[in-house]
Structure 1
Amino acid sequence: MKNELSLLTLTAVESKDTSHELKRMFLRAGVIALMSMTLSGCDAGGGGDTILVGEFASLTGKEATFGISSHEGTQLAIEELNAAGGVLGKKFELKTEDDQSKAGEPANVVNKLISKDGAIAILGEVASSRSLEAAPICQQNGIPMISPASTNPKVTETGDYIFRVCFIDPFQGTVMANFATNTLKAKKVAVFTDVKSDYSKGLAKFFKEGFTKAGGQIVGEFDFNGGDKDFKGQLTAIKSAAPDAVFVPGYYTDVALICIQAKQLGLNVPLIGGDGWESDTLVKIGGDAVEGHYFSTHYAADAASPKVTAFVEAYKKRYNGKVPDAMAALGYDSAMFLADAIKRAGSTEGTKLRDALAATKEFEAVTGKMAINAQRDAVKSAVILQVKGGAFKFVETVAP
């Protein structure tokens, strides 16, 4: 810009124009300089003094505890990264939008985070249905998206800019099928699926495949719609089928009511599910009715590993003694995974960042050591927890 100013000055002086013309030329130079500075400040989230990362989560609505937990974990990671100096000589700025647990909102807020705010990457969502809505937008814009906890395989099938730090439903479904067969010694299982949820339908599919492959029998398949309040008709039919266990791949609000009504009907067999169960609200709503039931998830807060212990202590200090659940741990891991990839890429440019994320062969996450496979899914272990004494207790770890 100095050379441009000099050239304009020289042109103005060498001409025999009036002093008015000279002033006009200097004004033009100033406008050009201002435009240049404005454009240079518009690099996608990484050209300023901070690196802007977008996050979308269900902070209100039906699955709000998921979104709040994942956001708190993400926020803690960003704060720790910034306290350590950030990456590439810059601090992170986290811009979070609430999708209200509603269809349609993920597209709105992610479009805003990319087009208006200039996010260099997107973190979110927990629910697979909402991640599936946002993923095509990130893919079309060449912006990497990292889901903390969406386990439906279709999420990363959207394209090569879409990643996750959790295991996927084929693995989780097989884990629970093997648990039902080997630990619970179940021979007959009924499956109760939320037909409005991609997460629930996917998990049910892979559980059924795994259980029947192991020699088990599916004695009934029953449906509900997420948000229903009365499940007694289906549960009465399930009881009549005399299963040894019931697989309920749903979210905690529905599961709690299902457990209450199952107990009222005398359906006294283990109910088992996936990571959609994990919320304190499950126990708050379900009370004694959820006691003794099991679910698979991504980590156990009472696991005795140094990384888990450090995370739990930091989280409790930051959030008034609150014990972090799996969604909080995965939110934390998603932000740390992004920061690690930025360091390795040496850039926040979309293509370079995508390539660094895809090249991850070993990353030490709170939720366990993981690698990213060719489908951009995390390869890692799962844990089984049991509701016991109003808390979630570690039962066993299952390797991939």
Structure 2
Amino acid sequence: MYHRYQQWFHDRGRLHGTKISLLAGLVSLVSSACAPAEPGHPDNAVVIGAILPFSGRESAIGGNLEKAMLLAIEDLNAAGGLDGRPFDILSRDSHSSTERGVSSLLELLHSEHVDYVVGPEENALALEIAPEIRAIDAFLMLPGYAAPSVARSDTRGGWMRLAPSPFAIGCALAKLAVRDGVATVNSLAARDDYNATVSSRFITAFVELGGDDLPSTTFNSGEQAYTNELKSGFAYDAERTLLAAYPLTGSTIVTEWTASGRPGTWFLGPALRTEVLLANIPTGSLDGYVGVTPSLSLQNECHITDAVRETVDCTTENAAAFIERFSRRWDREAPFPAAHFYYDGVVLIAMGLAYAEAKHGVIPESGHELQQIIRDLNSPANETASWRDLKTAMARLRAGVPLRYVGAAAEYEFDEYGANEHHFMQTWTVRGDAFVDLDPVAVTCKSWN
């Protein structure tokens, strides 16, 4: 049942708080009645919670993301932990569901008394739990692509977003369309918050860059067929139609689109770059269509080769090193791109705790305080520390030296709200049953960052 190891912070008011409190009590009762025994944590461990989709429609990614977090724990403990105290992970299943995921997250916060949580993947779940995170001043690290934006200041609770925002994704897609000479676009987008926002930002940025938008179509995820939506989406002959969906629904749409004769030309949204999509569509049906996802190249691995066209050349040595490290540890399994951010999320928390203890003698229990510490550590003025040498990094942090983290996914630099800044996105295409990387694209829509 369980596994181990701008404005989204709406206060839902007294009714929400009462609902959360009652649910917390029910969670404790249910968990004591039906949860199986778990291995204990190491003595005096610093426990980091994880809320991941081990079941439900997003279950294909949960185990891979947890392995990235477990790898981070192993590397941190090999580096001496928190001044000799080991780190550990306590994972709970979100069930790919808001209602059931809230129960699991409340168990971590109230029954297990975890102060620091990584996840969830589900946008709606993160939105639902936000008032509780603020109420108890906990800390939520959001590595997932679909995490909500964090553009709001609070005096309680801490949130950090590691992956690019829908604003940045939309900008990259729009610039790609303009660079390719596309004059008209529209979208076929799921109605969930993340995909709808990616679609909206793409269309808005494209119009601001001088293009024309044609009527777009939205749909509910999980339907058996999308005949009417496909007909509507391609009725206006847009030169590019963005498919913004999660992979299982996306595969249903692509399969039906293929059977209907493959009208139009796709752009592929960031959530579609997963083997789940390729395993559930006719082989070759998306060959040549282009998508955008977060770049895993470090900023210092990229440079603009053509300022006019904003052509970018990036190397991938850092990401390749992490892929090799992960696959060596986990029996040749490759990490999903998002797994790089989950590894980094754990390390960023550990670095913040180590530095706080060195400077103040105690680790912060306040999520708001921890967020400020991690932001300050990752100031461009500080020396860098790589994920590849955490032993040196943790030793220097324990000595009170502030260090900026160069992780498996990015060089981190956070805005005033705790959102990581991104400068480049990765473009890719499909060839047969594989994804193939293309040239990156710069994110330069300044008004959308």
Q: TM-score, normalised by structure 1?
A: 0.82
Q: Which position in structure 2 is the counterpart of 1:392? A: 435
> In the alignment, which of 330, 336, 346 is matched to residue 325 of structure 1?
336
Give how far 1:52 is off: 0.7
What are structure 2's unaligned runs of at least 5 residues? Answer: 1-40, 298-313, 380-403, 444-449
Q: Aligned pair in 2 of structure 1 residues 54, 282: CA closer, same or farther (>3 Å)?
A: same
How many equivalent residue pairs?
352
Aligned to 1:218: 213
Q: Considering only CA atoms, is the larger Rg found in Structure 1 or Structure 2?
A: 1
Give the CA deviation at 1:169: 0.8
Provide the C-alpha distance between the structure 2 equivalents of 1:55 and 1:136, rounded to a whole number of angstroms: 18
In structure 2, what residue type is equivalent to 1:106?
G
Alpha-carbon distance in 2 for matches of 1:141, 1:56: 17
Residues 241-260 of structure 1: matches in 2 within 5 Å? 241-260=236-255
- The Cα RMSD (Å) is 2.2
Corresponding residue for residue 295 of structure 1 = 291
Letter matched to residue 101 of structure 2: P
1:348, distance to aligned residue in structure 2 (A): 3.0
The equivalent of 2:197 in structure 1 is: 202
* Residue matched to 1:357: 374
Relative distance call for 1:300 and 1:372 in structure 2 (3 A) is closer
CA contact (8 A) 1:69 1:331 kept: no
Task: Specify which of 164, 186, 190 is matched with residue 182 of structure 2.
Answer: 186
Structure 2 letter corresponding to 1:372: F
1:296 alignment partner AA: V
CA distance in 2, matches of 1:156, 1:320: 40
In structure 2, the partner of 1:367 is 409
Match of 2:73 in 1: 78
CA distance in 2, matches of 1:338, 1:117: 18
Match of 1:314 in 2: 325
Any idea what the Cα deviations from partners look like across 1:99-139, whole Å, max 9, x if unmatched? 10012123211211111112130000122222212232222
Identify if the C-alpha distance between structure 1 residues 273 and 137 changes in structure 2 by more than 3 Å, giving closer, same or farther. farther
Amino acid at match of 2:219: F
Higher helix share: 1
Letter in 1 for 2:374: L
Alpha-carbon distance in structure 2 between the residues aligned to 1:71 and 1:157: 28
| Structure 1: runs of 5+ lacking an equivalent | 1-45
The answer to whether the 8 Å contact 2:144/2:163 transfers is yes
Helix, strand or coil: the match of 2:106? helix
Q: What corresponds to 2:174 in structure 1? A: 177
C-alpha deviation, 1:150, in angstroms:
4.3
AA matched with 1:332: Y
CA distance in 2: counterparts of 1:140 and 1:320, whole angstroms: 42
> Counterpart of 1:364 in structure 2: which amino acid?
V
Give the conservation status (yes or no) of the 8 Å contact 2:148–2:194.
Answer: no
Counterpart of 1:334 (choices 345, 369, 372) is 345
Which residue matches 1:21?
Answer: none
Distance 1:218 1:342, change over 3 A: same
Matched residue, 1:7: none
- Change over 3 Å in CA distance of 1:48–1:72 after alignment to 2: closer
Q: What letter corresponds to residue 319 of structure 1 in structure 2?
A: W
Q: Per the alignment, in what secondary structure is the counterpart of residue 230 of structure 1?
A: coil
The structure-2 alpha-carbon separation of the partners of 1:368 and 1:300, relative to structure 1 and needing over 3 Å to count, comes to closer
- Distance in 2 separating the partners of 1:186 and 1:231: 26
Q: Which residue of 2 aligns with 1:227?
A: 222
Number of the residue aligned with 2:354: 343
| Matching residue of 2:389 | none
Q: Which residue of 2 aligns with 1:378?
A: 420
Distance 2:151 2:105 in 1: 17
Matched-pair contact (CA < 8 Å) for 1:282–1:290: no
> More displaced, 324-333 or 95-104?
324-333
Q: Any residues of structure 2 matched to 1:156-167 within 5 Å, and which?
A: 157=152, 159=154, 161-167=158-164
Q: Answer with 366-375 or 127-136: which moved more.
A: 127-136
1:265-304 mapped onto 2 (5 Å cutoff)? 265-286=260-281, 287-299=283-295, 304=315
Write the distance in 1 (CA, Å) between the matches of 2:121 and 2:410.
18
- What is the DSSP-based 3-state SS (H/G/I as helix, E as strand, rest coil) of the residue aligned with 1:88? coil
Q: Deviations over 1:350-398 (max 9, x none)?
A: 3342221232224312222121101210102321121223222211223
Matches of 1:391 and 1:348, distance apart in 2: 45
Please state how far the C-alpha of 1:151 moved relative to its aligned partner.
Answer: 4.2
Alignment correspondent of 1:146: 141
Q: Aligned to 2:186, what secondary structure does the other structure show?
A: strand
- SS of 1:272 mapped into structure 2: strand
Which one is further off, 213-222 or 64-73?
64-73
Match of 2:55, SS?
Answer: coil
Compute the displacement of 1:194 (Å): 0.9
8 A contact 1:151–1:167 mirrored in 2 = no
Contact 2:158 2:370 in 1 (8 A): no
Counterpart for residue 88 of structure 1: 83
Counterpart for residue 16 of structure 2: none
- Deviation per CA, 1:230-270: give whole Å up to 9, x if none: 11211122232111111111111111221222222223443
Q: Write the distance in 2 (CA, Å) between the matches of 1:145 and 1:173.
A: 25
Q: Match for 2:71: what amino acid?
A: L
- Please state whether the residue corresponding to 1:95 is helix, strand or coil: strand
Instruction: Look up the equivalent residue of 2:60 and give its one-letter code.
Output: T
Distance 1:318 1:47, change over 3 A: closer
Asked whether the equivalents of residues 150 and 417 of structure 2 are also in contact (C-alpha less than 8 Å), the reply is no
Task: Quote the Cα distance in structure 1 between the aligned partners of 2:331 and 2:264.
Answer: 37
Deviation of 1:155 after TM superposition, in Å, equals 4.7
